[in-house]
Structure 1
């Protein structure tokens, strides 16, 4: 069942398992962090912080996706994904130094920019390389492993880490995991660029 899966799909799903897991590790306790560690932090601040991320991402993502679609080849998509993930790795570390609500809003907006680049690039690359006879299975593979299972595991682990060692250790570890996982995206470049070159010279 898991044999003969496209290498690009394997890499994307594996990396997303760790990236989504790292972000998911502090998701369930993020509101607790805000109310206990941020000056004047409240559930309202937590809500506005979430809005800052989603509004920023929603405004920027469509123009970026349009640009990526109009640009031939996969080089631009690789860099959008690679840099989006790399810069997002610094977000959990920034939380360590946040003390006021506006710090949090800026960090969340920055994360929105990072994901506005990474998400459409990820969708484009995955869609292009998914095995045509296994489209449903490979998209489900992403949903089950890189979203469902990793979030379930990370939520439990993150809660324990925050409880025993505090938020700083949790955020630091999450940032390191995201950074290391993002660096492994470099393995994609030859697969993507070689196909781009073949397409352009055909």
Structure 2
């Protein structure tokens, strides 16, 4: 596995750990701010539709640029901001706005991440390296679900969001290494 592939996997693992903490208990949070199951479904819908529409547009745009690393970095940092916004969510409207921010962040991140990950794949190891990505996602997200449930149950959602924010910052700052790596590769 190339160093670039490993770096992407590691950064994404921290990112998935952060966001995965909320997944299984999301509806409980929505209920805590006065929403119901339909509001939770609508918030998820807003995130997915925002991501789906913007991801296509951004993907076309990203093909024209040689700096996919910058889109990955922007996506991770905007995701961290989106996670921080959860600290201020006290009504459904603010939740929906947070979901839009997170959807845009995902749209910046995903096409560039997938393109760069594909670029770094070792020849004749594509299946195992895509398998490593999927495997890592499932394991980390599973661990995140337990951690998030424990933190929210023991200390509340505000504490959970603070933890999620700082964990997401790890992936954000780790992704900065992609630029350093690109500069080093150009020198070789």
- Normalised by the size of structure 1, how large is the TM-score? 0.89
Shift of the alpha carbon at 1:8? Answer: 0.4
Among 35, 41, 45, the residue aligned to 2:39: 45
From the CA coordinates, give the structure whose radius of gyration is larger.
1
How many pairs are equivalent?
Answer: 188
2:82 to 91, 99, 103: 91
Would you say 1:68 and 2:58 are equivalent positions?
no
Instruction: Choose which of 97, 100, 110 in structure 1 pairs with 2:91.
Output: 100
Q: 1:107 to 1:24 in 2, by over 3 A?
A: same
Question: Which residue of structure 2 lines up, in the alignment, with residue 178 of structure 1?
Answer: 168
Shift of 1:190: 2.9
Report deviation, 1:191: 2.5
Residue 23 of structure 2 aligns to a residue in which SS?
A: coil
SS of 2:103's equivalent in the other structure is helix
Which residue in the other structure is 1:28 paired with?
Answer: 24
Where does the alignment leave 5 or more consecutive residues of structure 1 unmatched?
none
RMSD: 1.4
Query: For 1:1-202, what aligned pairs fall within 5 Å after superposition?
Result: 5-36=1-32, 38-39=33-34, 41-71=35-65, 73=66, 75=67, 77-145=68-136, 147-195=137-185
TM-score relative to the length of structure 2: 0.95
Distance 1:167 1:9 in 2: 33
Alpha-carbon deviations, 1:101-123, whole Å to 9, x = none?
11111110111011100000100
Q: Return the offset for 1:171.
A: 0.7
Q: CA deviation at 1:196?
A: 5.9
Using the alignment, how far apart are the partners of 2:46 and 2:185 within structure 1? 37
